[in-house]
Structure formats: C-alpha cells, structure tokens
Amino acid sequence: MQISEIFRSIQGESTRSGLPSIFVRLTGCNLRCTWCDTAYAFHGGTKMTVDEVLNRVAELSHAGPGKSSGQAGAPPAVTLVELTGGEPLLQPEAIPLAQELLDRGYTVMIETSGERPVSGLPREVIKIVDVKCPDSGEPDTFYMENLGALDEKDEIKFVISTRRDYEFAREFTLRHNLAHRVHQVVFSPVHADPEGTWPGMSARDVAEWILADGLPVRLGLQLHKFIWHPAMRGV
C-alpha cells in the first residue's frame, strides 16, 4: 500500500466528531476538487504492507501515559480507526486492511469521495460517503449504486461552498430520501484556505438555510481546523 501518513488525533468530522481516532491516510486521488485540503496526499507517501500498517495502528492505539507502545495484554486506548485519503478505495489493499482491523476489535470508518463502489467493503465498516456538489469542480461523479450499499450506520456528506451547492444537496437529500437510508446526512461548509486559494462558506448561512427549509440533516464543521491551524498536517 502507498501510505501518506498514519497519526492519532481527534475525529474532526462526521457524527463521531470529537472522539480520539487513528487515521490511516492513503496516497492518491482521481478527483481534483476545487477546495481540496489534502492535495499533499495526491502523490508520494511510503510503501507499506498491510501488516506494517496494522502494527503502526496498534502502536498508536496503545500509546499513552504509563504505557509502552503495543504493550502485551494492555487494552487499546483508541479503538476508532479511519481510512481516508486521497481516495482510499483506489488501493485494493484497503479492503483487506479494513477487515483485519475489524477482526482485531477496532471500529473502522472509511471516508470516500463517492465515486468508487463501496459494496466490496465489509458490512461492519462505517462508510462516510461524499456526494460532490456542482461547485466542487467534480459534479456528477457520484456512483449511484452506492445508495443501495449504505445502511443505518453509514453517513452521506455534502461539502457546501455556495448557495448553488446547498440547493443541490437539499434536492438530492429529499429526492433520494437520504434521512431514512443512512444514520446521518451531513452538510459541511467549506473552511477557508489559509493561503487564499478558495474562500470559506459561512457556517451561519448554511445553518440558517437548513433551519428555513426544515431539513433533517446535521451541520458538520471541521473541528480539527478550529483546534489547530487549518493547514496543519497530522491532526
């Protein structure tokens, strides 16, 4: 596998926001969203075997005061693992990695662009699936069959950068009855790029639109970008 980084941090997105989590960021993506904040993961990284990734996750999951990494018999301090990218499903090893993590007792999430089929993943994996809005620069890339592969533990996310994006997300949510298909539908306003490459979307505006339309969705803010500098890696 080609791995961009593996680190422990606070879950910044999804309905598990705020929980300690281990992130495995896979290298490579076939989309180029206008507001992408992880373009550094498009290339490079380190080649690792599935076993090497598992060992690193175990070290991070056991790390803490008074504990040696991977101490035999010690319960892990962190049991939530997210596979992300880039686009993790571009690498076929992501699927056996997810199964191995499940077999070792971890709760496994995957964050994916929605362009790749998710049906090959183990059912127990919590799937956080994007639907790209018009002003992402990657409209019409959602793999519609994914709707049939999601269930009550999974989530669908829309990244909102404009009013047009919001209206698209609203209509898609209602047309496909997403609130009854998945655990949560998340509308996530774009966080401004600190270097000025793209503007931010007002979270207040999105919140007020959601309330005005009575939508059964969650406003999702990128918590880690409020805790650390928005461009900081490994958090």
**Tens digit of each residue's pLDDT (9 = 90 or more) over 41-94:** 999 999 999 999 999 999 999 876 545 444 455 667 899 999 999 999 999 999
Query: How far is the CA of 61 from the CAs of 49, 65, 100, 122, 235, in angstroms?
Result: 18, 12, 15, 22, 15
Asked if the structure places residue 213 within a domain, the reply is yes
As to burial, measured by CB atoms within 10 angstroms (0-12 exposed, 13-18 middle, 19+ buried), residue 208 is exposed
Q: What are phi and psi of 88, to 5 degrees?
A: -60, -30
Asked if the structure places residue 114 within a domain, the reply is yes
Q: What's residue 69's pLDDT?
A: 46
Asked if the structure places residue 234 within a domain, the reply is no
Sequence-ordered strand ranges (E) for the chain: 2-10, 20-26, 46-47, 80-84, 107-112, 126-130, 155-160, 184-189, 218-219
Q: What's residue 175's pLDDT?
A: 98
Q: What's residue 12's pLDDT?
A: 85
Sequence-ordered strand ranges (E) for 14-65: 20-26, 46-47
Q: What's residue 118's pLDDT?
A: 98
Structure tokens at 160: 């909102």
Q: What's residue 20's pLDDT?
A: 95
Give the largest Cα separation in the chain, rounded. Answer: 54
| CB burial string 35-64: b at 16+ within 10 A, e below | bbbeebbbeebeebeeeebbebbbbbbbbb
Closest listed residue to residue 93, CA positions, set 102, 83, 103? 83
Mean pLDDT over 191-213 rounds to 94
Asked if the structure places residue 153 within a domain, the reply is yes
Tell me if the bond preceding 12 is cis, omega within 30° of 0: no
d(CA 55, CA 48): 11
Residue-averaged pLDDT of the chain? 93
d(CA 94, CA 228): 28
Q: How many domains does the chain have?
A: 1
Asked if the structure places residue 110 within a domain, the reply is yes
Q: What is the pLDDT of residues 173-199, one digit of tens each?
A: 999 999 999 999 999 999 998 888 999
Q: What is the pLDDT of residues 119-142, one digit of tens each?
A: 999 999 999 999 999 999 999 999
For residue 34, the enclosing domain spans: 2-227
Q: What's residue 64's pLDDT?
A: 64
Asked if the structure places residue 28 within a domain, the reply is yes
Helical pair 94-103 and 50-62, crossing angle rounded to 10 deg? 40
pTM: 0.91
* Beta-sheet pairing, 126-130 with 218-219: unpaired
Q: What is the pLDDT of residues 103-118, one digit of tens each?
A: 999 999 999 999 999 9
Q: How confident is the model at residue 15 (pLDDT cuts 50, 70, 90)?
A: confident
* Beta-sheet pairing, 2-10 with 46-47: antiparallel
Mean pLDDT over 27-45 rounds to 95
Asked if the structure places residue 233 within a domain, the reply is no
Q: Quick count: other Cβ atoms within 10 Å of Cβ 71? A: 15
Asked if the structure places residue 232 within a domain, the reply is no
Q: What's residue 77's pLDDT?
A: 85
Q: What is the domain-level CATH number for residue 186?
A: 3.20.20.70
